[in-house]
Amino acid sequence: MEKPEMMQENLTRPWHERIDPVTKLLLIAVLTLLSFVLTNIFAEAALILATIFLLLFSGKLGSSMKALGFCAFMILTMLLIQGLFYPHNETLAFSLGAIAFYQEGLTYAALLGCRIIVIVLATNFFMRTTTISENAKYLENAGMKYKTVYLLMSVCYILPQMMQNLKKIQLAQRARGIGEQKSLIQKFKTILPILIPLVIKTLDQSMSRSISLQLRNFESKKRTVRALRRTYLMDKMFHRALGLTSIILIGCKVWMLINK
Amino acid sequence: MDKKTSSAPSIWRVNLTPAVIGLIPAAVGINYVAKAFAEGLKLPVWLGSLGTFLASMLAGPIPGAISGFINNVIYGLTLSPVSTVYALTSIGIGIAVGVLHAKGGFSSARKIFVSALIIALVSSVISTPLNVIFWGGQTGIAWGDSLFAVLVANHVPVFIASFVDEFVLDILDKVVVAYVACLIYKQIPKKMISYFKD
Amino acid sequence: MDANQQIVLDNLSVRYRGEDEEALKGISLTAKTGQIIGIIGNSRSGKTTLCDVLSGIIPNIVSSHVSGTVRLGEFSPFEAFDEYNFHTGVVLQNTAGQLSGLSDTVFDEIAFGLINQGMSEEEASKSVVRAACQMGLEDLLEQAPDTLSGGQTQRLAIASEIAFDPEFLIMDDPTSQMDPVGRKEFFEWLAGCSEKTIFIVSNEVDDLCEIADQLWVLEKGELIASGKPLDVINQVAEGHDLYLPVVYRMAKELGKKLPSGLFPVKLSELKGCFDDQN
């Protein structure tokens, strides 16, 4: 009865929703490891291009670009510091007045920067194409104990809640002009009366929650494992293939380090 | 001697009780809020381990370490991907705080200071290799990195320069977090403390 | 009376660990099941502690020093807690903390407890819809729980508990964040719950007087009065710093007494006083 409906649903869903969350996680692992195995800047650039295509084809490129904002600054300072002071600096790349930038340092920083970008983009693919409840249902169906699934997922849920709390507080702070005080001690004196009650409230909430979870039998062995509303493309095969690739890549990296 | 052997198994329990399962998300949430506060007010510290500190103090080193670990993994998968690798540092902090707290390391202002130094050391020792692997040795905090740049420019080995960069920041951060955590801990209702202790 | 239709509290005392003073001091009571029992008192009078004992949270989940006995019909929280818990629904004071925190929709949240009990999805779905309708949440089933208002969250918490149709329902201040309309609807629903035994802590003394079969009044951990609202309110009106219902105060002001010599506490009773005179 259900099957034709499900199949039809699957055909109309975009491809990235037909890939299961664990495959996506393994994909992050493989891309990250690959970026560490590669030591050539052009190969890294190709890898970045590959992850960009991954995001492009899933229509999530735009939203992922914002995530690069934070690391962009770090990568710039890295280029600066390594370009100037990298211990193996020899070849002059260019100089701005009296300040000399060296090729070795710049390449090294660029390599590290590329790795960071690969990690950020690959993780963004996971972040933008999965939902928390989908992940929870998948893990539970895959046989993970509900207690553990609950733990992981409840952490995901608490972050947006805290963000909301925080926004309210920040508004109140701005209204009271906190943040304009210059001295550090003054800043602490003004944030502690806000931070402490918030922390205690959070702990109190967590106590209520854990009591309520017990009252609501969340550890019950009778719990119905809810059927997945989605089916996934060849998830077992992907897991094996990507898992194996990860192990091989780790092997490569170790071998490279030994032979260095 | 006797006391030690009898208290050892109790702080090292691994059991994920419902209390601990409730506490861990709270700890992660507190870490997040504290970190956001510090960033919003441009404080020269991270404060992002406040929740891990409290979880360790309330429930012991293992729940603390789990909080720290999950904190970084979930952060990594939702907010900033690279923070995942610092899960190792968070585990170290969770264990250190839990052990020190159980041994009375947070019982007086002077002891808190010493404990904070030990925790900063643990944190730096674990973070430094990660900083070198991922960021060429930097920490991402401007004045720490300036120090790093000066040291590297003067031919100090990268590992040592990076360690100094990290350790200086960690001392300041962990001292502040330790005192704030104790201040909060004192205000937690007894009922709650005994609930999470079990 | 059949022991299985009785609520018995016998010399119940509770002291939290690490505290010196008892939160509840030697509470003894009997009442019939199937009633609505309102629990009132000022803050720190022990209302929440009593709720926690009635729900079995103390001492099964929060360990405390407890003495005495508690029995709701054939069940006791001190004996077989799993069994007891199966027959009791509990709405905690901190409603936001009560939610599982893991549901995408109101529907999933109400279903959480049912799924945990091993109910099939189909069966659970029916119960969810039934409970949602009772709490007026039928239009919000697909909404995310964290988008609800405080009052709606409280209704969600209640719906989640009545979904598995418990015999006993214990609610700690379940209307504190509801708007006047929502509160009125809630008390109307409550008045219509004839087959359940309901314990409700509330500051809405006016509403409780209208619908409760019994009122229990706590003060500093001691039970100072229990019985029909009319008797209880008249008994505690003097000498205790308690909120008194508007009807009572009005009747007293106007000097309107019931034939029994007591001041009325319900609107219908007050009306009766006027009708008698005319």
Give the residue from chain B lying closest to C60, CA to CA.
B195
Contact (CB<8Å) B180/A195: yes
Nearest 5 degrees, angle CA C100-CA C128-CA C136? Answer: 95
Give the residue from chain A lying closest to B142, CA to CA.
A77
C118 touches chain B (CB under 8 A): no
Contact (CB<8Å) B190/C62: no
User: What is the structure's pLDDT at B6?
Assistant: 38
Average pLDDT over residues B170-198: 92
> Which CB contacts under 8 angstroms, 24+ apart, belong to C149-155?
C149/C177, C150/C95, C150/C96, C150/C177, C150/C178, C151/C175, C151/C177, C151/C178, C151/C179, C151/C182, C151/C183, C152/C182, C153/C95, C153/C96, C153/C99, C153/C177, C154/C91, C154/C95, C154/C178, C155/C182, C155/C186
Q: Tell me the chain B residues in contact with residue C22 when contact means C-beta distances shorter than 8 Å.
A: none
User: What is the structure's pLDDT at A4?
Assistant: 45
Contact (CB<8Å) A204/C94: yes
List chain A domain ranges: 4-136+231-258, 145-215
User: What is the structure's pLDDT at B27?
Assistant: 95
Q: pLDDT tens-digit profile of C167-226?
A: 999 999 999 999 999 999 999 999 998 889 999 999 999 999 999 999 999 999 999 999
Q: Does the structure show a pLDDT above 80 at C247?
A: yes
Q: Tell me the chain B residues in contact with residue A219 when contact means C-beta distances shorter than 8 Å.
A: 18
Average pLDDT over residues B150-160: 92
Closest CB to A208: pick one of C97, C102, C103: C97
Indicate whether this complex's ipTM tops 0.90.
no
Contact (CB<8Å) A206/C55: no
Q: Tell me the chain C residues in contact with residue B193 when contact means C-beta distances shorter than 8 Å.
A: 18
If one compares C25 and C276, the residue with the highest pLDDT of the two is C25
Percent of chain C with pLDDT over 90: 69
Q: Does the structure show a pLDDT above 50 at B4?
A: no
User: What is the structure's pLDDT at B59?
Assistant: 93
User: What is the structure's pLDDT at A176?
Assistant: 67
Q: pLDDT tens-digit profile of A73-102?
A: 889 999 999 999 998 888 998 988 888 999
Contact (CB<8Å) A205/C115: no
Query: C30, C32, C40: which is closest to C9 by C-alpha?
Result: C30
Q: Which chains touch B (3 or more CB pairs under 8 A)?
A: A, C
Query: B109, B103, B96, B98: which is closest to B179 by C-alpha?
Result: B109
Q: Does the structure show a pLDDT above 60 at B44?
A: yes
Return the DSSP state at B157.
-
Average pLDDT over residues B80-98: 92
C70 touches chain A (CB under 8 A): no
**Which range marks the domain in which residue C27 is found?**
3-229
Give the closest-approach CA distance of A169 to chain B in angstroms.
10
- Whether domain B18-195 has CATH 1.10.3720.10: the reply is no
Please state, as a whole number, how many other Cβ atoms lie within 10 Å of the Cβ of residue C79: 11
Contact (CB<8Å) A212/C99: yes
Q: pLDDT tens-digit profile of C116-135?
A: 888 888 899 999 999 999 99
Helix (H, G, I), strand (E, B) or coil at A180: coil
Give the closest-approach CA distance of A172 to chain B in angstroms.
13
**C206 vs A187, C125, C211, C251, CA distance in Å?**
47, 36, 9, 13
Query: Which of A39, A200, A204, A210 should be substituted to probe chain B, the one whose Cβ sees the most B Cβ atoms within 10 Å?
Result: A210
Torsion (CA) C177, C180, C182, C186 in degrees, nearest 10: 90
Residue linked to tokens 């809020």: B33
Average pLDDT, chain C: 91
Percent of chain B with pLDDT over 70: 94
Give the residue from chain B lying closest to C20, CA to CA.
B190
The burial of A83, by beta-carbon neighbours within 10 Å (0-12 exposed, 13-18 middle, 19 or more buried), is given as buried
A192 touches chain B (CB under 8 A): yes
User: What is the structure's pLDDT at C252?
Assistant: 92
Instruction: Grade residue C87 by pLDDT with cuts at 50, 70 and 90.
Output: very high
Q: Tell me the chain A residues in contact with residue C97 when contact means C-beta distances shorter than 8 Å.
A: 204-209, 212
Instruction: Grade residue B190 by pLDDT with cuts at 50, 70 and 90.
Output: confident
> For B193, phi and psi rounded to 5 degrees?
-60, -45
> For B191, phi and psi rounded to 5 degrees?
-55, -40
Residue linked to tokens 């092997």: A251
User: What is the structure's pLDDT at B3?
Assistant: 36
Number of folded domains in chain C? 1
C21 touches chain B (CB under 8 A): no
**Is C245 contained in some domain?**
no
Contact (CB<8Å) B198/C63: yes
Q: Tell me the chain B residues in contact with residue A135 when contact means C-beta distances shorter than 8 Å.
A: none
Query: Which of C64, C84, C92, C94 should be substituted to probe chain A, the one whose Cβ sees the most A Cβ atoms within 10 Å?
Result: C94
Q: Does the structure show a pLDDT above 90 at C38?
A: yes
A70 touches chain B (CB under 8 A): yes
Contact (CB<8Å) A152/B82: no
Closest CB to B190: pick one of C18, C61, C63: C18
Q: Does the structure show a pLDDT above 90 at B11?
A: no
Give the residue from chain C lying closest to A219, CA to CA.
C116
Give the closest-approach CA distance of B145 to chain A in angstroms.
9
Longest dimension (CA), chain C: 61
Q: Which chains touch C (3 or more CB pairs under 8 A)?
A: A, B
Q: Tell me the chain B residues in contact with residue A115 when contact means C-beta distances shorter than 8 Å.
A: 134
Residues of chain A with confidence (pLDDT) below 70:
1-11, 173, 176-182, 229-230
Contact between residue C85 and residue A112 where contact means Cβ atoms under 8 Å apart: no
Residues in A 84-103 with any Cβ partner in B closer than 8 A: 84-87
Give the closest-approach CA distance of A5 to chain B in angstroms.
32
Contact (CB<8Å) B81/A124: yes
A207 touches chain B (CB under 8 A): yes
The length of chain C in residues reads 278
Give the closest-approach CA distance of C141 to chain B in angstroms.
26
Give the residue from chain C lying closest to A206, CA to CA.
C97
**Is C76 contained in some domain?**
yes
User: What is the structure's pLDDT at B7?
Assistant: 41
Closest CB to C18: pick one of B18, B194, B198: B194
